[in-house]
Amino acid sequence: MIDRPEDRARPRRRRARLCGWLVLGCASWAGAQEPEAAAPSLETLEARAAENPEDAGSLRALVRAYLAAGRSGDALAGATRLLGLGGDAPEDRLLLARASLAEADRLIGEGERGAYVRALLADVEQSARLAGADAALAVEARVLLAHAQYRQGAAGAARETLGDVLAEAPDQADALALRGYLTLVGERPEDAVEDLQRAARLAPERVDVRVHWAMALARRSAAAAADVFVALVQEGRADERLAGDVYRTLAVDPAAAERVLRAVQAARPDDAEACFWLGRALADGGRHAEAIAAYDRSLALLPDDATVLAFRGAARGRANDFSGLVDDLLLVVRADVPERAWAVHRLQSDSAWFAQQGDWQTVARIGQVLIETDPDDPDVHGNLGLALMRLDRLDEADAVFRAAAELFPESIRLSNDHGLLLEGAGRYQEAEERFTRAADLGSLDGAENLAVLCLRQGDVAAARQRFEAVLGQDPARVRSVAGYARILLADTFDSR
């Protein structure tokens, strides 16, 4: 029996930083900075801009507020309009580059990689170069340029740009953070520690940078990485993505992952994600009963989450709760999640195991769900028909086999199993038709079943001929040897 779902990134609304949000986090202008306490509210700024649509200052403040609020589309629209109001001021060009980058990152995070994203990144590069003509804005403009270069696939050019920035401004936190990230996802991630550590110390409020730093540290020491995560929790900076970051970073050390995830769960007791990732860490450490409890808590907070059900089912299977495993996986196969394919495969293999145990009720239960969700697999139909036959639900089994024969006329197994059902019900002529069909498809089982049926009906000559044909192809077939010997013994006694 397979032990667990495939290891894959959790397909959730709350994605891990390393799988997308990380890229956004390297730009403080994309929303990482908190607004000043005395700053006007977004609603106030919108009202001011509406009252004075030609006031570039009001619109400029509104664009910055949109960026801080993560409303990249509104920020881009406002920055584009701003250029029309204020000419081509370097400050407004820089604001347009920020807004274009934020919108491109939003689309990239949603899986977009088309022409519009490429156009946005080209706009970032163009606006950053124009803004860089102003000496006061040159450093920030070049950092934006490096972001655009990296997202366009030119990591080498981005590194060169960042190197120039850091030669001039060695404590530029955004440049350090981006260069550290490029190193983290490159060939030598352990070399990212120095840049990310410096960036984290310069901008301790940047959760994304400290998460990257922990990821780099984990290459050297899981305990050191765990300490960085724990510090974030203790400072009240644990967000909805932190638990996933922790697990992916520390999965190689379940004990370290558990330590941090328990801290995250304590800080965020109603966070279903934190409970889920804690369950993963506990299961990795072989503590399946505790993992199941963590998954239970996650499901209590987020009922019917198919991904959690898949992992809880795997944990139940490893804890020998096979009934619970089936309960969970039957729900998973009805859901559109990446673990669905694994759940189907697991249920198919488990169906064979339950059949060996004689638990035909569970085999039938599995088959009835799989036949709805995977109707193109002839074995699913065959397993259900066989289970119903063993449960003496013969009419239902007959209906399953007849429907399957229409869908899979070339299936040897379905023809043979249906023939066995019909033979057991005394419907010999129909059974003969099914066995003949299997034999015509090249099945020795079908030919042997046909010989046994002939013998049962008293047609010894036909049985002899068919047994001889089977043994001519496979002399070691025990059932045919026994049937043929029975005929020979009968002939011997008759001759006496």
- Tens digits of residue pLDDT in 175-196: 999 999 999 998 788 899 999 9
* The length of the chain, given as a count of residues: 496
For residue 64, give both structure tokens.
Answer: 């910055």
Which of 212, 200, 103 has its CA nearest to residue 151?
103
Which of 276, 204, 265, 199 has its CA nearest to residue 238?
265
Output the furthest CA–CA distance in the chain (Å, rounded).
120
Rounded average pLDDT over 91-100: 94
- pLDDT at site 160: 95
- pLDDT at site 14: 40
Q: Lowest-confidence range among 139-153, 418-432, 476-490?
A: 476-490
Q: What pTM was estimated for this model as a whole?
A: 0.73
Question: Checking phi first, is residue 20 left (phi over 0); if not, alpha (psi -120 to 50) or beta?
Answer: left
- State the pLDDT confidence band at 277, using cuts at 50, 70 and 90: very high
16-63 pLDDT per residue, tens: 443 333 333 434 333 333 444 467 899 999 999 899 989 999 999 999
Please spell the DSSP secondary structure of 95-118, one letter per residue: HHHHHHHHHHHHHHHTT--SHHHH
Do residues 439 and 446 lie in contact, with contact meaning Cβ atoms separated by under 8 Å?
Answer: yes
- pLDDT at site 408: 94
261-270 pLDDT per residue, tens: 999 999 999 9
- pLDDT at site 179: 96
| 199 has a pLDDT exceeding 90 | yes
388-416 pLDDT per residue, tens: 999 999 999 999 999 999 999 999 999 99
Please spell the DSSP secondary structure of 444-486, one letter per residue: HHHHHHHHHHHHHTT-HHHHHHHHHHHHHH-TT-HHHHHHHHH
353-392 pLDDT per residue, tens: 898 889 999 999 999 988 888 788 898 999 999 999 999 9
Do residues 162 and 156 lie in contact, with contact meaning Cβ atoms separated by under 8 Å?
Answer: no
Domains of the chain, by residue range, sit at 15-168
Do residues 108 and 88 lie in contact, with contact meaning Cβ atoms separated by under 8 Å?
Answer: no
Per cent of the chain over pLDDT 90 is 70
- State the pLDDT confidence band at 494, using cuts at 50, 70 and 90: low
Q: What is the mean pLDDT of the chain?
A: 88
As a whole number of Å, the end-to-end CA separation of the chain is 55
What is the per-residue burial (b if ≥16 Cβ within 10 Å, else e) of 176-186? bbbbbbbbbee
Rounded average pLDDT over 107-133: 92
CATH node for 15-168: 1.25.40.10
- pLDDT at site 84: 85
Do residues 371 and 380 lie in contact, with contact meaning Cβ atoms separated by under 8 Å?
Answer: yes
Angle between the N-to-C axes of helices 378-390 and 339-356, in degrees from 0 to 180, rounded to the nearest 10: 30
- pLDDT at site 8: 43
| 428 has a pLDDT exceeding 90 | yes
What is the per-residue burial (b if ≥16 Cβ within 10 Å, else e) of 271-303? bbbbbbbbbbbbbbeebbebbbbbbebbbebbe
| 9 has a pLDDT exceeding 60 | no
Do residues 295 and 275 lie in contact, with contact meaning Cβ atoms separated by under 8 Å?
Answer: yes
Report the alpha-carbon distance of residue 67 to residue 45 in Å, rounded: 13
Per cent of the chain over pLDDT 70 is 91
What is the per-residue burial (b if ≥16 Cβ within 10 Å, else e) of 212-238? bbbbbbbbeebeebbbbbbebbeeebb
What is the per-residue burial (b if ≥16 Cβ within 10 Å, else e) of 12-39? beebbbbbbbbbbbbbbbbbbeeeeeee
Rounded average pLDDT over 128-149: 93
Handedness of CA 323, 327, 333, 339 (dihedral sign): negative
Report the alpha-carbon distance of residue 441 to residue 450 in Å, rounded: 13
Do residues 209 and 28 lie in contact, with contact meaning Cβ atoms separated by under 8 Å?
Answer: no
- pLDDT at site 186: 86
- pLDDT at site 336: 82
- pLDDT at site 364: 94
